[in-house]
Structure 1
Amino acid sequence: MYQSDSEGWASSKDLRSHLGHLESELLFLSTLTGISVRNYSMKTEDLTNTEKKEKSIMKVLQRHRLSGNCHMITFQLEFQILEIQNKESLSSVITDLNIIMEPTEYSELSEFVSRAEERRDLLMFFRSLHFFVEWCEYRKRTFEHFKEKYPAAVHLPEGAASSCMVVRSACQPGFELVIIWRVQIDEEGRVLPKLDLLPKAPQQALELDRNRVLETAPLSFRALLGALGIEAALESLIKSLCTADYD
């Protein structure tokens, strides 16, 4: 009797240790990727054919459902995995994927979600979502940094989480630089930033711009991005318009 109780206690202790280890791993993954899973369930269905010629092939359909979030973006996933096992091998394939995301201001995600569902590519969904959110958070921090550093010149009409930053100079009324910073997800799931410059100026200034400085400004800005990087290019842009404001 004593031996049995001791074995039961050891088994319970091992289970608690194993669960603690799993919780630590989940916490680490959540910290690393920003993805947290709140609810998860799975159901299985045996699809093995009972006919004699098919007896050696086992088929199991797994139905998974989970919900979670990646920082500020929440999602629900429903997907099916078909496992086929014979004497030589075991294979698994995702046969169906449905992604439900709560409405967000990130319009880029809609097309990406449809593409992930069509390809039934869970890995691409999680990987691209992680990097998409990372870029959006970086954009927000960058906009907030410049708003704090140049409060009179930098304006965020739709908030720091938007894709737009406006630069105005008190010394040059009518001149305005609009930076549009989008975060795009390409066909392969790669997440890339895309920044564009839209200069605005009074009509009189446009007529006097014989060297087409304003017209070529967007191309010059892209060259600046390639040479300096995002933050240094934005800093240079702000200073070029607002130098007198901060002398």
Structure 2
Amino acid sequence: GSYYTPDYIVKYIIEHTVGPVLKEKFEQVTPRLREAQKAYRQRIRNNEAVRKQGNEPLPGHNPKLVAQSFRDAVDELFDVKVLDPAMGSGHFLVEAVDFITDKTIDFLNGFPWNPVTATLNQTRDAILGEMRKKEVNLNPARLTDINLLKRHVLKRCIYGVDLNPMAVELAKVSLWLDCFTLGAPLSFLDHHLKCGNSLIGAKVAEVRRAVGESTVKGHTQLDLSAPASPACSAPRRSCAAWAS
């Protein structure tokens, strides 16, 4: 049978498992965010000097390096993975998304400008631009930072497995309802939520059926594009493993 974990227990588990990981992550990324803020102010001063006086860019200012430092800060902040190996309808994962989003907002409030906010603005602009191409009128006010950040957390941090294919689909719906953003599909859920047995993994016979070997330039290519289990209707995923 199935067991539904009460909400207060889920909140307690999230707070005492994900919470300490986030606290440590925030402490690690704080120096990088401060460096990003410094680089941002330097870029603003450089742009103003070029615009007002027609001067050359300030010495030592490299826009590509600045942009890369912003991306690195965002990548480090969201380098947190939450996996529910028996996710059921996704109750634990929905709570994890909300918890990470709330804590991240509280943390970023200490940085008036930060690359995460800049990334969300870029996402908002991209969505609005795509909607204009489709001649769809979308109110920018509906693309709030919270909605976009939730989607970002879901895309970067959340994973789940369940033995029941129906549970996998229910979890997708639960997360879709919690993180729905107008104009932004959540197609990546098919790659984050999988049907399978996380306790024992795949059987040897299933692996043999799924893996086709071919030799390419002295290497062995393992084609894992076939589904691991015929009883599981999860979408196919192609990847290649190389071994000498």
Both proteins in one fold, TM over 0.5: no
Structure with greater strand share of residues: 1
What's the TM-score once normalised by structure 1's chain length?
0.23
Q: Which has the higher contact order (CA 8 A, sep 6+)?
A: 2
What's the TM-score once normalised by structure 2's chain length?
0.24
